[in-house]
Structure 1
């Protein structure tokens, strides 16, 4: 006569698809019976020899199922007494019962921290990050992916152990050496590999600068209008005072002495001000350096897209104007290669480099070393510089086409007068009465992605406009996308 347990298991086994190893099928039947309560806690199971005979299985099959369930905590044995269902099965901790919905946490609605609520109010990252006229996005289709894939494949065939474990050196040394050489030649940056810290993009670099150099109650300066990434990171620390400094055709306009606290950090985009586009004049650059030295402040120079200048001579970085300047230079491969790469970098003053590397390793646990090594090879082999040259020509054509369409159909007065012949976007100026944020939202329905200029200001402003990115739009698509934009503008009386 079969036991009740054997009858239960035979029913479960017969209901299963007759495939897979028998010990696995028995394990699944036993586990399901324990989880749904058919075999309640403290139930004694038949001896392995007896259950094997009742089910017509080998004893080894039953032993294997018992041992697996015991290893997972579903069963336990007592010497001389037998095998029993555990008091509480492991999965009961992992999955809520389907019959009884979980109660809300402490009966309260979830509460976000104030800094999170403030950040959400001004959140500006789009769900879509690709298409006309998304600003700040390069043409990722042009990335030399086949060559990069070969570099990665070669590294993965026999990877160095150091590339697969945690690191605390500030990033792959091979990449830091290649990048230092590139920056010295292309951007006149004064640096050695030991001054470079590889980060997960520019936002992490901004966050590192704030965490390392600004105490609660201290002040930082940002350009107004300025890069929304600066604002997003700074909003997450309400103990820091943020002062918005206006920009004009020469860049950030340093205030006259007004008795306000000196800044610890000054965030600037001197080579191509974001979002308006002017280049900081040499007089302003020298004034900024002298100011930082006199106030014991640090300049954070974001050189986000300076590689893409379509006329005139390259503009050297502020960091390279003097020996050991009070400048933290940050850059990224997001604009030159593709944003999903998530590789940025900081060039740190020598006296800060070791401390930044140590804290960065503790906070973020560096990784992606193989990707960094492949990127080093891309630079060393000359493919990176060649890619930038190709894209500079391509983006110049796309920009010229978009400017021509605006001048033909809207008026050259719509182009922001400060916008330089560089970068990945231009600014379309709008009348002060236009709600550019609402307009940008309405354009999404037409498949047009833009950013409203007014959202880049921290203070009150009458400036209205749209940022139009042209880099990621193929030339054949620029004209139809522009006419869709025109229709949206017409509906808003523009």
Structure 2
């Protein structure tokens, strides 16, 4: 005698299907549960009995039962049989608006004060490609084919350890390649054991703040300076003291008694961000002396030093003295591409092992296959060759943009601290021009710029626009600048 369940399933199994019998039976039982034909707590026939009713093998029925048990549609009770579960898994997976909490439910906890401050001061742009986006290289000129050849060959026979978590500061081959490059190109005093591979500058700063700072410590930062430092230090409860910059870089307090010694001093000495000054030798020596005397750590952000278009390269601050109290940070975002999310931190020898351990525990680093690809890209000479190709290209684009600024707005519109380097220019504006509102207008026309006033922690001392030229083909610079002028010139006229 057939059971009610057997009759139901026999009807459904009679419908045409391309599935194997075991999958078809599974689908029939699952469908009956979902549409309510098999109600919760319904007892299903034993596997042998249902197989006989349906004219199927017991293995076919066993597969369907076991799959439905694994997915939570059925439950088995020892000695009692198999039953339809009280609630189907879809009840949890497919929530709708009708399933939302009632109005009387308690409110969800909100952001912490620290989280609120972080969100309110967020400055990352939602759009990262186009004229005149600062800090972005020409991604179309990246040697994709060569890089892909290296990656494809490594992926054909990947080493198992490259597919696991990273430990020890990153892939040894990449750390060695980075150290070799920095010794030659930036005069950095280091070996591979001092190099730690990070996921960009922000992670490096976060690790430095966690490992060497405590809540309530102070950091001196450049004013104006890179907005990304502020958010990272803020979440670590590191207080920030903005210090002005001039043509020689960061200005130290004239009297040390004027301010307590900081735990950190963040600087961009080779190309101050965003104004472009190069820190003088006199100022560098004074900064190193101050840090040694007061036990402060200098964090040197060398974000785009590879792109200097005239004169000799500016050596790193870290390499000026043996055992300098400097943590040196660099990135591949400007030399390769930002989405790579790869940078490096060069540490004093006494800190390297502890930082490597903390980095592994905090971030569970990986991407070793990518690190292996970049390491070979550097070892084969492709990295240095790519930088050599991009220098004259960026120099030409800088010259085109600077020429347009001088022609239509005057030489005084270029910021006086700008050096012949980097990936952006600063266009000076009169104090009465609202550079934030101007930026919004220009962006509405499809041109990406950043307002200089947003780089100040305190009241904006200067108004201006950051114009990135690296990612703009030379033939597109003029039309994009015309759009900028259309938005800017009405604001320059006397009211």
TM bucket, shorter chain = over 0.9
Residues in 2 aligned to 1:155 and 1:38: alpha-carbon distance in whole angstroms: 54
Q: 1:411 to 1:349 in 2, by over 3 A?
A: same
Q: Which 10-residue stretch deviates more, 368-377 or 155-164?
A: 155-164
Residues in 1 aligned to 2:78 and 2:162: alpha-carbon distance in whole angstroms: 49
Residues in 2 aligned to 1:453 and 1:97: alpha-carbon distance in whole angstroms: 45
Query: Which position in structure 2 is the counterpart of 1:207?
Result: 206
Gaps of 5+ in 1: none
Query: Which position in structure 1 is the counterpart of 2:163?
Result: 164
Q: CA deviation at 1:99?
A: 5.1
Q: CA deviation at 1:7?
A: 4.3
Residues in 1 aligned to 2:103 and 2:55: alpha-carbon distance in whole angstroms: 48
Q: CA deviation at 1:12?
A: 5.1
Q: CA deviation at 1:61?
A: 2.1
Q: CA deviation at 1:208?
A: 0.6
Query: Which position in structure 1 is the counterpart of 2:5?
Result: 5
Q: Which 10-residue stretch deviates more, 412-421 or 101-110?
A: 101-110
Residues in 1 aligned to 2:483 and 2:402: alpha-carbon distance in whole angstroms: 16
Residues in 2 aligned to 1:97 and 1:22: alpha-carbon distance in whole angstroms: 33
Alignment of 1:56-205 (within 5 A): 56-96=55-95, 100-103=99-102, 106-205=105-204
Map Cα deviations across residues 434-460 of structure 1 (whole Å, 9 max, x no partner): 111111111111110011000000011
Give the aligned CA root-mean-square deviation in angstroms. 2.0
Correspondence 1:395 to 2:394: yes
Residues 35 and 92 of structure 1 are in contact (CA less than 8 Å); yes or no, is this contact kept in structure 2? no
Residues 304 and 335 of structure 1 are in contact (CA less than 8 Å); yes or no, is this contact kept in structure 2? yes
Q: 1:35 to 1:303 in 2, by over 3 A?
A: same
Residues in 1 aligned to 2:234 and 2:13: alpha-carbon distance in whole angstroms: 59
Q: Which 10-residue stretch deviates more, 354-363 or 121-130?
A: 121-130
Residues 395 and 424 of structure 1 are in contact (CA less than 8 Å); yes or no, is this contact kept in structure 2? yes
Alignment of 1:258-337 (within 5 A): 258-337=257-336
Q: 1:261 to 1:14 in 2, by over 3 A?
A: farther
SS in 1 for 2:203: helix
Q: How many residues align?
A: 492
Q: 1:225 to 1:79 in 2, by over 3 A?
A: closer
Residues 166 and 367 of structure 2 are in contact (CA less than 8 Å); yes or no, is this contact kept in structure 1? no
Query: Which position in structure 1 is the counterpart of 2:243?
Result: 245
Gaps of 5+ in 2: none
Q: 1:286 to 1:354 in 2, by over 3 A?
A: same
Q: 1:100 to 1:10 in 2, by over 3 A?
A: farther
TM-score (norm 1): 0.95
SS in 2 for 1:66: helix
Query: Which position in structure 2 is the counterpart of 1:429?
Result: 428
Query: Which position in structure 2 is the counterpart of 1:353?
Result: 352
Residues in 2 aligned to 1:34 and 1:105: alpha-carbon distance in whole angstroms: 32
Query: Which position in structure 2 is the counterpart of 1:447?
Result: 446
Map Cα deviations across residues 201-244 of structure 1 (whole Å, 9 max, x no partner): 0000010111111111111110000011111212223x321100
Query: Which position in structure 2 is the counterpart of 1:414?
Result: 413
Query: Which position in structure 2 is the counterpart of 1:463?
Result: 462
Q: 1:34 to 1:385 in 2, by over 3 A?
A: same
Residues 96 and 102 of structure 1 are in contact (CA less than 8 Å); yes or no, is this contact kept in structure 2? no
Q: Which 10-residue stretch deviates more, 189-198 or 138-147?
A: 138-147
Residues 435 and 463 of structure 2 are in contact (CA less than 8 Å); yes or no, is this contact kept in structure 1? yes
Residues 431 and 464 of structure 1 are in contact (CA less than 8 Å); yes or no, is this contact kept in structure 2? yes
TM-score (norm 2): 0.95
Q: Which 10-residue stretch deviates more, 480-489 or 113-122?
A: 113-122
Residues in 2 aligned to 1:428 and 1:208: alpha-carbon distance in whole angstroms: 34
Q: 1:129 to 1:265 in 2, by over 3 A?
A: same
Q: CA deviation at 1:121?
A: 1.5
Q: CA deviation at 1:260?
A: 2.6
Q: Which 10-residue stretch deviates more, 419-428 or 60-69?
A: 60-69
Residues in 2 aligned to 1:81 and 1:452: alpha-carbon distance in whole angstroms: 72
Query: Which position in structure 1 is the counterpart of 2:219?
Result: 220
Residues in 2 aligned to 1:463 and 1:342: alpha-carbon distance in whole angstroms: 31
Q: CA deviation at 1:156?
A: 1.3
Map Cα deviations across residues 79-100 of structure 1 (whole Å, 9 max, x no partner): 5533212344444444436753
Query: Which position in structure 2 is the counterpart of 1:373?
Result: 372
Residues in 2 aligned to 1:105 and 1:172: alpha-carbon distance in whole angstroms: 54
Q: Which 10-residue stretch deviates more, 32-41 or 265-274?
A: 32-41
Q: Which 10-residue stretch deviates more, 410-419 or 192-201?
A: 410-419
Q: 1:11 to 1:493 in 2, by over 3 A?
A: farther
SS in 2 for 1:391: helix
Residues in 2 aligned to 1:323 and 1:106: alpha-carbon distance in whole angstroms: 62
Q: 1:407 to 1:99 in 2, by over 3 A?
A: closer
